[in-house]
Structure 1
Amino acid sequence: MDTNQRTEQEDIASPKRTNDLLKKHSLVLKKSLGQNFLVDPNILHKIVSSADLDVNKGVLEIGPGVGALTQQLAKKAGKVVAIEIDQRLLPLLTETLAGYAHASVIHGDILKVDLQALFQEQFKDFAQVSVVANLPYYITTPIIMKLLEEKLPLEYIVVMIQKEVASRMSAKPGGKEYGSLSIAVQYYCEPEVVTIVPKTVFIPQPNVDSAVIRLKVRQKPAVEVEDEAFFFEVVQASFVQRRKTIYNNLAVRYFTKETKGQLEAILLEAGIDPVRRGETLSMEEYARLSSCLSKALGRA
């Protein structure tokens, strides 16, 4: 990488610098877009170091805001592409990223962007690409699931999210935080909570604390299933009413009063006690269960 392309700008991860930029561009942050900008350089460095970047790797950032994280990513990665939904921020980002020719901003909604096409166009020269972002809380799960379900060639997803959501994503069977989101994320990734982030290091302050979570994307899913869509459907059905047994939840979803007698045999065939609750089942047990249920229902 040509060092001339990396004329470093003044770091903007401070309350004063961030507020000065917003004032200069006459910007009032939109609560509806979940705009909470990180102003602690130590947390930024933890996020960037967790992504294990170098000049041979690319980065997709979602919601760059004023560009504080984008700047730090551009100092490490070979290419940074940031997607920003708020058009008002584009002139500001042009200013803060002026010293980084290998960093670019695309105006768009991440949930509507054709990510396969974007990766082909922007990252065709990079064997390893990661997503690094401070995500808006209100659409955290849809964004992460879109990234995972599209099976993009990702190495890591390193994101700042609500602390509670990070706990759910990394939860193990048996706890109150373990649920369908835990299984969905761990099916595709190995999650690790990097650090807890207090709400005081954002402008404006959110109502809850955050966490940085690193998702190491698996080369292949954690368990082998014949029908992914049905596997996830069974998982979700098992958590509809957490206090009910796996038998009761699945009986409501897949059987009538006349046919639900079959369910006990199906559960036992999968090696699962019908009186257990969904939160106690491992991903491997859900894989067996979805296979047995699929055959019994004639879906296999």
Structure 2
Amino acid sequence: MGLKSKTMEIVKYFEFKFNKNLGQNFLIDENILKKIIDAAELDENSTVIEIGPGIGTLTQEMAKRCKKVVAVEIDKNLIPILEETLGNFKNIKIIHSDALKVDFNKIIKEENLENVKVVANLPYYVTTPIIAKLLNERVKISSMIIMIQKEVADRILAKPNTDEYGTLSLLCQYHCDIKKICKVSPNCFVPPPRVESMVIRLDIRDQKRVEVLDEELFFNIIKSAFNMRRKTLSNSLKSIANEDILLKALEELSIDPKRRGETLSIEEFAKLSNILSKQKS
């Protein structure tokens, strides 16, 4: 029996109703499933945190290859299904909780997880908040292999001077090395979403991409620069530093104050942040 038939049989047997508010789209393409598994590079020493396991399709395949899988599922209606479909696996733990409220580092410690990877088909409506949470909270993981909306993947991968380039691009590129795995058609899911998806891999860097003296200031500058994209740097960064200090810093870096935030590279943001940080201290 194919993956699509198995999925529909389980959905029918448990009389499961898809919840649009939770962005539930179950993967039914075996080729894409294999690509995710291959990209995760799991072995007997790996442990996995999965966010949004659905009916456990990906969970089962990962449990066959790694030491342990901890699956976090928000929908109470999926818990009895997961307990049934994953019941034969002793190395899977199901946690019924909202991933945005979970203390992942606490789970990693309590479950004694090592060499941890996040592997997930992330619900579209929480994709950006979950990625930001994992990075900002310094969750002790080595990588994320995630299937997300293609539009969000494009933003993560974006370069300066593009419409997609923004705070998410810089957050991910600061913390991670990023690799595109594959595009995924809506027909690979049930029910099919209205948009294309993409699988990407983010490897957490031991050293951040750029060195900054004050990380909070660095990201405040980025947020201010993109808060109103059409504004010039001299206008958008007024809340960060007074005009004289800001203009002097930009001149030192040979950055035209009339440039917009979307034109600056991560290296330029870092240099600007470091100069302004020294001015504050």
TM-score norm. by structure 1 comes to 0.89
Q: Is the 8 A contact 1:74 1:80 kept in 2?
A: yes
Aligned to 1:17: 6
> Which amino acid letter does the alignment assign opposite residue 279 of structure 1?
E
Aligned positions of 1:178-197 closer than 5 A? 178-197=165-184
Query: Which among 240, 249, 264 is matched to residue 254 of structure 1?
Result: 240
- State how far apart, in whole Å, the 2-side matches of 1:263 and 1:153 are: 36
Query: Which among 55, 71, 74 is matched to residue 63 of structure 2?
Result: 74
Q: Is the 8 A contact 1:270 1:292 kept in 2?
A: no
> Which amino acid letter does the alignment assign opposite residue 137 of structure 1?
Y
Q: Is the 8 A contact 2:48 2:117 kept in 1?
A: yes
Aligned to 1:30: 19
Aligned to 2:257: 274
Aligned positions of 1:32-111 closer than 5 A? 32-111=21-100
Q: Does 1:286 align with 2:269?
A: yes
1:178: Cα distance to partner? 1.2
Q: Is the 8 A contact 1:58 1:123 kept in 2?
A: no
Q: Percent of aligned pairs with the same residue?
A: 48
> Which amino acid letter does the alignment assign opposite residue 21 of structure 1?
I
Query: Which among 243, 246, 249 is matched to residue 263 of structure 1?
Result: 246
- State how far apart, in whole Å, the 2-side matches of 1:200 and 1:232 are: 38
Q: Which runs of 4+ in 1 moved over 6 A?
A: none
Q: Does 1:142 align with 2:129?
A: yes
1:65: Cα distance to partner? 0.3
Q: Deviation digits for residues 165-204 of structure 1, max 9, x if unmatched?
A: 0011011222221111100011110111110101111111
1:254: Cα distance to partner? 3.4
Query: Which among 134, 149, 152 is matched to residue 165 of structure 1?
Result: 152
Counterpart secondary structure, 1:175: coil
Q: Deviation digits for residues 133-162 of structure 1, max 9, x if unmatched?
A: 000101101101111112222121000000
Q: Does 1:176 align with 2:163?
A: yes
- State how far apart, in whole Å, the 2-side matches of 1:139 and 1:179 are: 18
- State how far apart, in whole Å, the 2-side matches of 1:189 and 1:13 are: 32
Q: Is the 8 A contact 2:160 2:263 kept in 1?
A: yes
Q: Deviation digits for residues 111-139 of structure 1, max 9, x if unmatched?
A: 11111110001134x2x110000001011
Q: Deviation digits for residues 66-123 of structure 1, max 9, x if unmatched?
A: 1111111112111111000011111111111122211121111111111111000113
Number of aligned residues: 281
Long gaps (5+) in structure 2: none
Long gaps (5+) in structure 1: 1-9
Counterpart secondary structure, 1:101: coil
Counterpart secondary structure, 1:35: coil
Aligned to 2:118: 131
> Which amino acid letter does the alignment assign opposite residue 268 of structure 1?
E
1:279: Cα distance to partner? 1.4
TM-aligned CA distance change 1:13 to 1:233, over 3 Å: farther
TM-score norm. by structure 2 comes to 0.95
1:229: Cα distance to partner? 1.4
Segment drifting more, 238-247 vs 193-202 = 238-247
What is the Cα-based RMSD across aligned positions, in Å? Answer: 1.5
> Which amino acid letter does the alignment assign opposite residue 239 of structure 1?
F
Q: Is the 8 A contact 1:60 1:80 kept in 2?
A: yes
- State how far apart, in whole Å, the 2-side matches of 1:110 and 1:265 are: 44
- State how far apart, in whole Å, the 2-side matches of 1:109 and 1:224 are: 33
- State how far apart, in whole Å, the 2-side matches of 1:244 and 1:13 are: 50
